[in-house]
Amino acid sequence: MIQPAKEITKRKVEFWFDFGSNYSYLSAMRIDDLASKSGIEVAWRPFLLGPIFQSFGWNSSPFVLQKQKGAYTWKDMERQARKFDVAWTQPTTFPRKAILPLRVAALGMEKPWIGHFVRATMVRNFADDKDIESEDAVREVLAAIDVAADEVIAQAQSDENKARLRQATETAAARGIFGAPMFFVGDEMFWGNDRLEDAIDYASSLA
Amino acid sequence: MIQPAKEITKRKVEFWFDFGSNYSYLSAMRIDDLASKSGIEVAWRPFLLGPIFQSFGWNSSPFVLQKQKGAYTWKDMERQARKFDVAWTQPTTFPRKAILPLRVAALGMEKPWIGHFVRATMVRNFADDKDIESEDAVREVLAAIDVAADEVIAQAQSDENKARLRQATETAAARGIFGAPMFFVGDEMFWGNDRLEDAIDYASSLA
């Protein structure tokens, strides 16, 4: 009897994120557990949120540009982090630039260490309130998860890989992504950490 | 033995809404049931969202001004309405102006018919896709819930009551309200239909 290949039938949720996005942090810390409980595969999709915001004429996050929404966001994050039992410190720099770690994530998105790398970088930003962009910072994160830092950083900075992250960002824009986190199940789009459960439930409902 | 007055000890959630706001619609249809299950009182707080958006330099809803977010919103509303078992039709006019019904709501916010009036007006906008702003529309809604329409509409249009809605809108701005629905439990602010349960849980947790 021939079993259908697991890779073909397995249902998948795409998780589009930027390391600077605080609500992406909450999802990054939750998605692997939630998805695995439902037998759903996670596809990690790093992209640059900055160029998307710039295409709307914004030179920063709406949480910076809109004072009232920003004030609310930090209060909301405190409550949401407590609700989901995730460590939280309001970052002293927001949004933190993350080009190098996003390049590393773009390079490693199919690697077994991708979830560890994303979570460790997110924790560094949103729980430890530390720089995540410098080569030293990325090296420290990679070393902590036992990934060969020199090799990965060199590959991440290759022209080919730089193009990979740019391409991902163009794909994000083309698919109508206007914020992060964004989830896709097929073409069905779900915005925000508040919709993570809905996205997984939808993936689970597919035959 | 003297019982403490129920009015004093009862915990309360303020529900700030505009009839033009689609996510306020979802909350309007859910809040009475959710709150009463937890023994929480609902304080209905109509206000004009337009002047708040104008203070940010926006001449309409972000769902109109941001094409991608708007496209997503209608898809999300369809899913959310199904999830909460609420009727839904994407309105052909959005956001619908609602000054007269908001004045009626400001007049009646402590009246026993306020919940009925809010729900009936919301359903007219977001399920029946009908005008809610004209005197005829408001009269029809009031008649359907057995409220003396002529009298209420005349009082709603008095200078005193017009000032009441203006004052509510100024209070909304002063309290940092930047969108709708917005919930308050004391000074604790919760934004969006996605936080309705959190707001009620928080009210329930208070001694």
| pLDDT reported for residue B65 | 86
ipTM: 0.91
In a domain, B4, yes or no: no
Tens-place pLDDT, residues A95-119: 999 999 999 999 999 999 999 999 9
Average pLDDT over residues A130-142: 98
Q: Which of residues 42-61 of B touch A (CB under 8 A)?
A: 56
Q: How many domains does chain B have?
A: 1
Q: Residue B150 is part of a domain; what is its CATH number?
A: 3.40.30.10
Question: Which of A72, A83, A189 has its CB closest to that of B176?
Answer: A72
Report which secondary-structure segment, H or E, holds B71.
helix B67-83
Top pLDDT among B55 and A8 is at: B55
- Residue owning tokens 């005193």: B160
In a domain, B5, yes or no: no
In a domain, B85, yes or no: yes
| pLDDT reported for residue B49 | 97
Quote the CA–CA distance of B202 and A190 in Å, as a whole number. Answer: 26
Q: Does A194 touch chain B (CB under 8 A)?
A: yes
In a domain, A71, yes or no: yes
Is residue B21 classed as helix, strand or coil in its secondary structure? Answer: coil
Closest CA to A63 of B183, B55, B178: B178
Residue B205 with chain A: CB contacts under 8 Å? none
Q: What is the mean pLDDT, run by run of 10 residues, along chain B of 207 residues?
A: 50 97 98 97 98 91 89 97 98 97 98 98 98 98 98 98 98 97 97 98 91
Residue A4 has pLDDT above 70, yes or no: no
Q: What is the pTM of this model?
A: 0.93
Q: Interior CA angle at A35 toward A34 and A36, to 5°? A: 95
In a domain, B6, yes or no: no
Question: To the nearest whole angstrom, how far is the Cα of B114 from the nearest Cα of chain A?
Answer: 28
Is residue B186 classed as helix, strand or coil in its secondary structure? Answer: coil
Range(s) of the domain holding residue A92:
6-205
| pLDDT reported for residue A8 | 46
| pLDDT reported for residue A77 | 98
| pLDDT reported for residue A66 | 87
Cβ proximity of A142 and A119 under 8 Å:
no
Q: Is the dihedral of CA B196, B198, B204, B207 positive or negative?
A: negative
Report which secondary-structure segment, H or E, holds B139.
helix B135-144
Question: Which of A69, A83, A176 has its CB closest to that of B72?
Answer: A176
Percentage of residues in chain A having pLDDT higher than 90: 89
Residue A71 with chain B: CB contacts under 8 Å? 176
| pLDDT reported for residue B62 | 87
- Lowest mean pLDDT across A7-11, A125-129, B19-23, B32-36: A7-11
In a domain, A177, yes or no: yes
Is residue A8 classed as helix, strand or coil in its secondary structure? Answer: helix
Tens-place pLDDT, residues A70-82: 999 999 999 999 9
Confidence of residue A64 (pLDDT cuts 50, 70, 90): confident
List the structure tokens of B202: 């928080």
| pLDDT reported for residue B8 | 46
* CA torsion angle A148 A149 A150 A155 (round to 10): 90
In a domain, A181, yes or no: yes
* Residue of chain A minimizing CA distance to B182: A72
Average pLDDT over residues A191-196: 98
In a domain, A1, yes or no: no
